[in-house]
């Protein structure tokens, strides 16, 4: 990654009021933003009908599975209710995590979580008949 030129005059703006900084970028109100992982960026490009250049990437926070009832994935019973994120990119990450643990399978073509966003409609097999919600 290239270092930022110290002669640049950067103005850092913290956005906390729910404004979509990708909309600001698309409308030219800001010159750059730094807050999202690539899957979210792609979903925003599609929603806004724009294409942004990726100058640098951000880290992706690990996604975890937590339960007060079960200690391992094999303990999850049939028809268990699984809370998943209510935004498309993190929902997709959750489905890939469940796939990687053998709880579901995804339809062919869903191989790369960074490129292929999965939704519950993309589940090919759900042998435990898990119920998804948020």
Q: pLDDT of 1-13, one tens digit each? A: 567 788 888 888 8
pLDDT of 100 strictly over 90: yes
Q: Which class would CATH give 73-133?
A: alpha beta
Query: Does residue 46 register a pLDDT over 70?
Result: yes
Nearest by Cα to 120 from 39, 110, 74, 38: 110
Residue 101 pLDDT > 70: yes
Q: What are phi and psi of 82, to 5 degrees?
A: -120, 120
Q: Rounded mean pLDDT of 64-85?
A: 94
pLDDT value for 27: 95
Asked if residue 75 lies in contact with residue 126, where contact means CB atoms within 8 angstroms, the answer is no
Question: What is the model's pLDDT at position 31?
Answer: 92
Mean pLDDT over the full length of the chain: 90
Closest CA to 67 of 103, 34, 40, 37: 103
Provide the whole-model pTM.
Answer: 0.71
**In 10 A of CB 8, how many CB atoms?**
6
d(CA 7, CA 9): 6
Which residue ranges does the chain devote to CATH 3.40.190.10? 73-133
What's the mean pLDDT in 92-98? 94
Angle between helices 88-100 and 38-48 (to 10 degrees): 140
pLDDT of 78: 97
């Amino acid at each position: 990654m290239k270092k930022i030129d110290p002669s640049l005059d950067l103005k850092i703006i913290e956005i906390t009021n729910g404004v979509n900084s990708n909309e600001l970028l698309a409308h030219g109100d800001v010159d750059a933003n730094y807050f999202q992982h690539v899957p979210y960026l792609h979903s925003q490009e599609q929603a806004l009908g724009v294409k942004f250049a990726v100058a640098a990437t951000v880290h992706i926070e690990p996604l975890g599975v937590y339960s007060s009832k079960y200690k391992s994935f094999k303990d999850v019973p049939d028809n268990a209710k699984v809370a998943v994120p209510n935004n498309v990119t993190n929902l997709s990450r959750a489905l890939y995590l469940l796939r990687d643990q053998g709880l579901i399978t995804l339809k062919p073509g869903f191989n790369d979580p960074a490129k292929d966003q999965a939704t519950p409609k993309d589940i090919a097999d759900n042998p435990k008949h898990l119920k998804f919600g948020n």
